[in-house]
């Protein structure tokens, strides 16, 4: 154990050192091969120009390499693999796509993903907005925000254990140690196995993600609310608008852009939801979602790269509109010099 700590520590130092060494050495090499400190003026000026042309690529090199190997190439490879069989060796045309179109579990996953997409981003944004408005109006608002934001630091697996304990079921006659069943019993209801109730169990899993992500929505929306110009509110007050009208007709329209950012960010997260379903139900009781189905096919019976590639591509297709929108936004307000 101690040796592992030492080797981890060593890896950090070696990694950082190697990185630093690369940038330092490549810069030194450039200086030696194309000197700019001495020599005739024309030569220096020519060398300086070459420096300016080469340096950006030296700086960008490692980052580009990593992104190409780990992101760009795999996207293309996954696309190609979706036309091949389980081992990736034989071309099968559209067979994997046909499988997806006719597979019941795949349809179930799509249906569940749509349910998640319909509920989670809306719930997080709504609760986040309400809590942001409420906490902005009290003196201990920052403490409250901190507490609501805190689940964001908790892993999905940790959160799943936390909520599995809340949903715990101990037989119809046993003492209920799960909070939800204890409350139900207190009000005279019958305890239920919450995570095994088809359709509804999806919502019990969604609660976990809402619990985690509402804080994120709240933080972003709270900052946007503070940026609303005072005059617009004052004008509405003078015109006799009440608090409700001011909120819906003056404040919300002015933060539309931010609401869209929050909504899309959570949408992307929802499309990739994996850990929660894996740890809560592992896709049983009709809770399967795309990311879990894909993981399942990656390893099921030795793995089927063709079918899991198709599932990955479906997730990719769903995020593509958001991706294009992001790129548009980023190129509109591009900084830089």
CB nearer to another protein: pick between 1 and 41:
1
To another protein, the closest distance from the beta carbon of 88 in angstroms equals 7
**3-class DSSP state for residue 17?**
helix
Say if residues 135 and 223 touch (Cβ distance below 8 Å).
no
CB nearer to another protein: pick between 42 and 226:
226
With tokens 């919450």, the residue in question is 194
- CB within 8 A of 81, min separation 6: which ones? 88, 305, 306, 309
CB nearer to another protein: pick between 46 and 154:
154
To another protein, the closest distance from the beta carbon of 229 in angstroms equals 7
Say if residues 176 and 170 touch (Cβ distance below 8 Å).
yes
CB nearer to another protein: pick between 115 and 182:
182
To another protein, the closest distance from the beta carbon of 286 in angstroms equals 20
186/54 Cα distance (integer angstroms): 72
Q: Return the structure tokens found at 314.
A: 């479906």
Radius of gyration of the chain (CA): 27
Residue among 265, 153, 271, 149 nearest 216 (CA): 149
To another protein, the closest distance from the beta carbon of 22 in angstroms equals 9
CB nearer to another protein: pick between 202 and 270:
270
Say if residues 191 and 176 touch (Cβ distance below 8 Å).
yes
Q: Could you tell me the CA-to-CA distances from 70 to 73, 74, 77, 274 in Å, in that order?
A: 7, 6, 11, 20
Task: Work out the burial of residue 106: count CB atoms within 10 Å of its CB; fewer than 13 is exposed, 13-18 middle, 19 or more buried.
Answer: buried
To another protein, the closest distance from the beta carbon of 295 in angstroms equals 7
To another protein, the closest distance from the beta carbon of 99 in angstroms equals 16
To another protein, the closest distance from the beta carbon of 179 in angstroms equals 6
CB nearer to another protein: pick between 135 and 202:
135
CB nearer to another protein: pick between 198 and 321:
321
To another protein, the closest distance from the beta carbon of 87 in angstroms equals 10
Say if residues 169 and 180 touch (Cβ distance below 8 Å).
no
To another protein, the closest distance from the beta carbon of 199 in angstroms equals 23
Quick count: other Cβ atoms within 10 Å of Cβ 321? 11
Contacts 24+ apart (CB under 8 A), 53-57: 54/30, 55/27, 55/30
Say if residues 106 and 313 touch (Cβ distance below 8 Å).
no
CB nearer to another protein: pick between 144 and 197:
144
- Max Cα–Cα distance, the chain, nearest Å: 94
CB nearer to another protein: pick between 202 and 314:
314
């Amino acid at each position: 154990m101690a040796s592992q700590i030492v080797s981890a520590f060593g890896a950090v130092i070696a990694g950082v050192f190697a990185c630093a060494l690369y940038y330092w050495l490549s810069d030194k090499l450039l200086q030696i091969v194309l000197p700019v400190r001495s020599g005739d003026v024309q030569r220096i000026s020519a060398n300086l120009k070459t420096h300016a042309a080469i340096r950006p690529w030296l700086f960008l090199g490692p980052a580009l390499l990593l992104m190409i190997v780990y992101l760009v190439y795999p996207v293309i490879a996954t696309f190609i693999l979706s036309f091949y069989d389980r081992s990736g060796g034989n071309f099968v045309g559209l067979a994997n796509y046909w499988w997806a179109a006719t597979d019941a579990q795949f349809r179930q996953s799509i249906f569940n993903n749509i349910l998640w997409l319909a509920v989670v981003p809306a719930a997080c944004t709504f609760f986040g907005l309400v809590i942001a408005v409420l906490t902005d109006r009290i003196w201990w608002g920052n403490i409250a925000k901190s507490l609501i934001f805190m689940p964001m630091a908790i892993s999905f697996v940790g959160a799943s254990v936390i909520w599995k304990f809340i949903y715990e079921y101990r037989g119809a006659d046993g003492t209920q140690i799960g909070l939800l069943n204890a409350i139900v019993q207190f009000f005279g209801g019958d305890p239920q196995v919450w995570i095994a109730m088809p359709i509804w169990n999806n919502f019990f899993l969604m609660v976990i993600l809402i619990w985690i992500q509402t804080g994120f929505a709240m933080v972003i929306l709270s900052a946007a609310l503070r940026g609303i110009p005072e005059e617009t509110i004052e004008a509405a007050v003078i015109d006799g608008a009440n608090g409700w009208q001011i909120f819906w007709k003056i404040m919300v329209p002015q933060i539309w852009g931010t609401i869209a950012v929050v909504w899309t960010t959570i949408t992307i997260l929802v499309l990739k939801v994996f850990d929660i379903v894996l740890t809560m139900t592992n896709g049983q009781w009709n809770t399967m979602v795309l990311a879990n189905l894909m993981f399942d096919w990656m390893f099921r019976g030795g793995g089927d790269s063709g079918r899991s590639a198709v599932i990955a591509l479906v997730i990719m297709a769903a995020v593509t509109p958001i991706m294009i929108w992001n790129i548009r936004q980023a190129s509109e307000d591009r900084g830089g010099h």
